[in-house]
């Protein structure tokens, strides 16, 4: 068992408890939107629930999972104790305090602003301060990840940083950049408004700052899934990683191209010119590159495993893979969801076509399929994979784990495919109650009921996941060391540029200056008339 | 098993596929943007949310559909918690129509179901989109961005009528009551 097991378990359990509670809310929300109206279906309760669901999933599940998994990787991939464990615990408690403050405020009904804030609408300052504390906790984690890698490089001069840790530090550095936008929005605009220090807000500026964070935050969530693809799935399948270098390149490209693209969330906004929207749209297209590289490398790695297991022919290796292993199964299901979710994303990105789908259920479907599907199913697989080395106990059988993964996949498809369709029909999002007597809306009813059924399947899967982790495990027969995939050709040396981040940080700075320099500066050169603060907490 | 050179060669071949796919996607968007003029609403026009209802084009008397002497059709709508003013606007089919929106309070958004009309309405800015309506009928026009607890009840109707039924009065006004 690993030394920081209590630290890692504290983070993961916090993440998964928030996740399960948010799944209950999500299923209830689909019930409210359907013609079947459940009890307590008022706009107050619905939007409170949406705020809690979004905040718990986007800020609590992700941040705590990524921090916990990062500590795990730092210890196991580097084979060294974690630096400064007391500071890591302090960061945990800061983030925990922030979580309790933020979610408590939401549940008290004093911050029904949704998890994306929407100033000049303004809730209680406690909600925003709570979220800032969660981010502060994660900043400490960033520092610890960088320090763990630096200490290792000092002790092992000239050797390549293990891929799992290289990727974790890439994510940590990207996260530090990512949080600048939302931190500036909260600290300089939203919290002063919530405290009553200012009476108006420049909404164009606040939206631009939030967009800085909006895309890269999704890649922050996505990184653990990709780390599992590269460093865990090939080992679980009984093969090898096709190319270590391609993995490094992918993670560096994510660091580079996740950030200067957030304005694609503002295509339909009036406060930016076509030129900068076009520039960021082009950069967004480049984000597809690391994902396409990954699809290739992981498929090639799986092919190695399948052929080692005796698979023959063009596709025979697919059937020969050990699909009974949760990590292999989750990777396969994740790729299917990535196919649909990524395709939908290309439509969102195409800045003309975006007008057809902007703020419709299409968008809700896209991010649930990409984040809730592709990414979260890999969180499950990671948890199943590392649980034995955290608890010293093994699952008796994989059957319940596989059942849970299949339910999640089916539930996600049944929920989101109708949403895509409804979005194309014009169903707009963030609506509590639809008027099903309206002739345009009436035909949507059956599809909304189908996605409510999908929501129920997801809820069953979420509860089964928690039960699988908490349930009875058999004591392990032997010590359970974590297993990372070996590369097909072991990287004995890598270019300096792919063994650190100095150069890439400079490159991100240049790209961000080009992509966001003027779009932010314009609000100071020619200030917009402010919008009056609208309080929702009194 | 493949040698290190084989791996590299395969990867380089795949990178051509990736570059080709990316170029194809960008080419299609570029073609739509430059050759067909399909670009997002980006007019960058500022307006004071505190005073927009007092004077100027978004004062109450100037809202709704207006036909200019040269025949241009412009629709002006104020989006406010939790209503569109006016709640119904009339537009002719087969003619280019300019829609202009402004918000005196919080963020709203608007889409007209079954058309390419879709924009955010950000307080501090005029949101402007152009469209040529092809379908006739009462088109559902909801607010699509969360604007408060009454958000779900905030919607309007765009009544698209054939050109021969579209009539403006002497001042160029057209509204749903006259139909």
pLDDT digits (tens, 9 = 90+) for A164-222: 999 999 999 999 999 999 999 999 999 999 999 999 999 999 999 999 999 999 999 99
Over residues A64-89, the pLDDT tens digits come to 999 999 999 999 999 999 999 999 99
Contact: A489, B7; criterion CB under 8 Å: yes
CB count within 10 Å of CB A125 equals: 21
Q: A355: which chain B residues are within 8 Å (Cβ-Cβ)?
A: 38, 40, 116-118
Contact: B125, A528; criterion CB under 8 Å: yes
Choose the closest CB to A207 out of B18, B122, B127: B122
The CATH architecture to which B60-178 belongs is Sandwich (2.60)
The CA distance from A348 to the nearest CA of chain B, in Å, is 12
Position A473 scores a pLDDT of: 64
- Best of A205, A240, A244, A355 to substitute, by most chain B Cβ atoms within 10 angstroms, is A355
Q: B14: which chain A residues are within 8 Å (Cβ-Cβ)?
A: 293, 296
Position A395 scores a pLDDT of: 81
Is A367 tagged catalytic?
Answer: yes
Residue B15 sits at the chain A interface (C-beta within 8 Å): yes
Q: Name the residue of chain B whose CA is nearest to A358's CA.
A: B118
Q: A111: which chain B residues are within 8 Å (Cβ-Cβ)?
A: none
A 420-449 near B (Cβ less than 8 A): 425-426, 428-434, 438, 440-441
C-alpha–C-alpha distance, residues A231 and A295, integer Å: 14
Tokens of A445: 């009813």
Contact: B18, A47; criterion CB under 8 Å: no
Burial (CB < 10 A; 0-12, 13-18, 19+), residue A263, is: buried
C-alpha–C-alpha distance, residues A207 and A151, integer Å: 39
Tokens of A342: 């990524």
Residue A126 has pLDDT above 90, yes or no: yes
Residue A472 has pLDDT above 90, yes or no: no
Domain ranges of chain A: 5-535
The pLDDT confidence band at residue A538, using thresholds 50, 70 and 90, is: confident
Position A101 scores a pLDDT of: 98
Residue B119 sits at the chain A interface (C-beta within 8 Å): yes
Q: A118: which chain B residues are within 8 Å (Cβ-Cβ)?
A: 106-107, 145-147
Q: B150: which chain A residues are within 8 Å (Cβ-Cβ)?
A: 43
Is A215 tagged catalytic?
Answer: yes
Contact: B147, A121; criterion CB under 8 Å: yes
Is A219 tagged catalytic?
Answer: yes
Within A117-202, residue ranges assigned H as helices are 125-155, 163-185, 191-194
The pLDDT confidence band at residue A323, using thresholds 50, 70 and 90, is: very high
Is A37 tagged catalytic?
Answer: no
Residue A369 has pLDDT above 80, yes or no: yes
- Best of B1, B33, B146 to substitute, by most chain A Cβ atoms within 10 angstroms, is B146
Position A3 scores a pLDDT of: 83
Choose the closest CB to A530 out of B33, B114, B124: B124
What is the arithmetic mean of pLDDT over A244-268?
94
Element at A52 (helix H, strand E): helix A43-55
The CA distance from A351 to the nearest CA of chain B, in Å, is 7
Q: At what angle do helices A274-308 and A502-525 cross, to 10 degrees?
A: 150
C-alpha–C-alpha distance, residues A212 and A258, integer Å: 10
For A5-535, CATH number? 1.20.210.10
Contact: B114, A426; criterion CB under 8 Å: yes
Position A337 scores a pLDDT of: 97
Residue A37 has pLDDT above 90, yes or no: no
The pLDDT confidence band at residue A480, using thresholds 50, 70 and 90, is: low
Computed over every residue of chain A, the mean pLDDT equals 94
Contact: A426, B122; criterion CB under 8 Å: no
Within A392-444, residue ranges assigned H as helices are 399-425
Q: Tell me which residue of A167, A185, A318 sits closest to A254, measured CA to CA.
A: A167
What is the arithmetic mean of pLDDT over A18-40?
95
A 475-534 near B (Cβ less than 8 A): 488-489, 526, 528-532, 534
Residue B117 sits at the chain A interface (C-beta within 8 Å): yes
Contact: A536, B148; criterion CB under 8 Å: yes
Contact: A358, B125; criterion CB under 8 Å: no
Is A429 tagged catalytic?
Answer: yes
Contact: A531, B106; criterion CB under 8 Å: yes
Q: A246: which chain B residues are within 8 Å (Cβ-Cβ)?
A: 11
pLDDT in tens, chain B (179 residues): 567 788 889 889 999 999 999 999 999 888 888 887 778 888 889 999 999 999 899 999 999 999 999 999 999 999 999 999 999 999 999 999 999 999 999 999 999 998 999 999 999 999 999 999 999 999 999 999 999 999 999 999 999 999 999 989 988 999 998 65
% of chain A at pLDDT higher than 70: 98
Give me the phi and psi of A362, to 5 degrees please: -55, -45
Q: B36: which chain A residues are within 8 Å (Cβ-Cβ)?
A: 352
Tokens of A322: 């050990």
C-alpha–C-alpha distance, residues A179 and B143, integer Å: 30
The CA distance from A531 to the nearest CA of chain B, in Å, is 6
Pick from A1-5, A98-102, B122-126: least confident: A1-5
Strand A121-122 and strand A534-535: the pairing is parallel
Residue A105 has pLDDT above 80, yes or no: yes
The catalytic position among A118, A188, A335, A367 is A367
A 280-319 near B (Cβ less than 8 A): 281-282, 285-286, 288-289, 292-293, 296-297, 300, 304
The catalytic position among A430, A489, A503, A534 is A430
Choose the closest CB to B42 out of A273, A296, A433: A273
Q: How far is CA A92 from the centre of its chain?
A: 19
Residue A153 has pLDDT above 70, yes or no: yes
C-alpha–C-alpha distance, residues B21 and A5, integer Å: 44
Contact: B117, A277; criterion CB under 8 Å: no
With a CB cutoff of 8 Å and minimum separation 6, the contacts of A223 are A66, A167, A168, A170, A171, A174, A251, A254
C-alpha–C-alpha distance, residues A466 and A404, integer Å: 10
SS3 B161: strand
Domain ranges of chain B: 1-39, 60-178
Q: Among positive and negative, which fits the CA dihedral A4, A5, A11, A12?
A: positive
Q: A270: which chain B residues are within 8 Å (Cβ-Cβ)?
A: 41-45, 119-122, 125-128
């Amino acid at each position: 068992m690993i030394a920081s097991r209590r630290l890692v378990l504290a983070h993961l359990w916090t993440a998964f408890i928030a996740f399960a509670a948010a799944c209950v809310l999500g299923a209830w929300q689909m019930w409210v939107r359907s013609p079947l109206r459940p009890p307590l279906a008022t706009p107050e309760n619905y939007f409170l629930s949406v705020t809690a669901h979004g905040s718990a999933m986007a800020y609590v599940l992700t941040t705590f999972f990524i921090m916990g998994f990062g500590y795990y990787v730092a210890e196991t991939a580097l084979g060294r104790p974690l630096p400064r464990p007391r500071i890591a615990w302090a960061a945990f408690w800061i983030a925990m305090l922030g979580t309790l403050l933020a979610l408590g405020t939401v549940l008290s009904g004093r911050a029904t602003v949704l998890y994306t804030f929407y100033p000049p609408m303004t809730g209680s300052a406690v909600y925003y301060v709570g979220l800032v504390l969660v981010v502060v906790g994660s900043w400490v984690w960033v520092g610890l990840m960088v320090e763990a890698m630096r200490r290792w490089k000092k002790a092992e001069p000239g050797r390549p940083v293990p891929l799992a840790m290289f990727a974790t530090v890439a994510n940590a550095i990207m996260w530090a950049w990512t949080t600048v936008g939302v931190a500036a929005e909260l600290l300089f605009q939203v919290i002063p408004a919530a405290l009553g220090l200012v009476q108006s807000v420049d909404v164009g500026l606040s939206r631009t700052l939030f967009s800085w964070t909006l895309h890269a935050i999704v890649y922050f969530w996505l990184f653990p899934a990709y780390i599992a693809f590269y460093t865990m799935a090939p080992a679980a399948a009984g093969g090898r990683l096709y190319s270590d270098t391609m993995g490094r390149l992918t993670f560096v490209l994510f660091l580079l191209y996740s950030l200067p693209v957030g304005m694609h969330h503002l295509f339909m906004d009036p406060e930016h010119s076509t030129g900068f929207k076009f520039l960021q749209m082009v950069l967004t297209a480049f984000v597809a590159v690391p994902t396409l590289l990954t699809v290739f490398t992981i498929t090639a790695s799986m092919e190695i495993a399948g052929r080692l297991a005796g698979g023959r022919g063009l596709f025979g290796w697919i059937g020969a893979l050990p699909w009974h292993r949760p990590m292999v199964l989750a990777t396969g299901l994740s790729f299917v969801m990535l196919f649909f979710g990524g395709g939908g994303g290309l439509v969102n990105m195409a800045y003309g076509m975006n007008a057809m789908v902007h703020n419709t259920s299409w968008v809700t479907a896209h991010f649930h399929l990409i984040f809730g599907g592709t990414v979260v199913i890999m969180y499950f697989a990671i948890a199943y994979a590392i649980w034995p080395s955290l608890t010293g106990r093994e699952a008796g059988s994989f059957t319940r784990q596989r059942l849970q993964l299949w339910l999640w996949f089916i539930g996600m498809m049944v929920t989101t495919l109708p949403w895509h369709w409804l979005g194309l029909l014009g169903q707009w999002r963030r609506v509590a109650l639809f008027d099903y007597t309206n002739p345009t809306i009436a035909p949507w009813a059956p599809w909304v009921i189908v996605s409510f059924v999908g929501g129920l399947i997801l809820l069953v899967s979420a509860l089964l996941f928690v039960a699988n982790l908490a349930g009875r495990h058999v004591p392990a027969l032997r010590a359970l060391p974590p297993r990372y995939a070996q590369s097909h050709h072991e990287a004995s040396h890598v270019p300096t540029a792919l063994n650190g981040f100095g150069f890439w940080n400079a490159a991100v700075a240049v790209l961000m200056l080009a992509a966001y320099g003027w779009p932010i500066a314009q609000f100071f050169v020619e200030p917009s008339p402010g919008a009056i603060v609208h309080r929702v907490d009194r | 098993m493949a040698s290190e050179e084989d791996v590299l060669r395969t990867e380089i071949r795949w990178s051509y596929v990736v570059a080709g796919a990316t170029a194809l996607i960008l080419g299609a968007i570029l073609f739509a943007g430059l050759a067909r003029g399909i670009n997002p609403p980006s007019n960058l026009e500022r307006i004071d949310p505190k005073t927009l209802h007092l004077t100027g084009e978004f004062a109450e008397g100037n809202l709704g559909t207006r036909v200019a002497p040269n025949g241009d059709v412009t629709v002006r709508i104020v989006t406010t918690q939790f209503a569109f003013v006016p709640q119904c606007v009339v537009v002719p089919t087969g003619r280019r129509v300019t829609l202009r929106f402004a918000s005196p309070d919080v963020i709203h958004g608007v889409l007209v179901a079954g058309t390419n009309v879709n924009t955010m309405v950000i307080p501090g800015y005029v949101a402007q989109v152009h469209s040529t309506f092809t379908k006739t009928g009462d088109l559902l026009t909801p607010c699509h961005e969360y604007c408060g607890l009454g958000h779900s009840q905030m919607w309007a109707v765009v009544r698209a009528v054939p050109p021969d039924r579209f009539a403006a009065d002497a001042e160029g006004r057209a509204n749903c009551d006259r139909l």
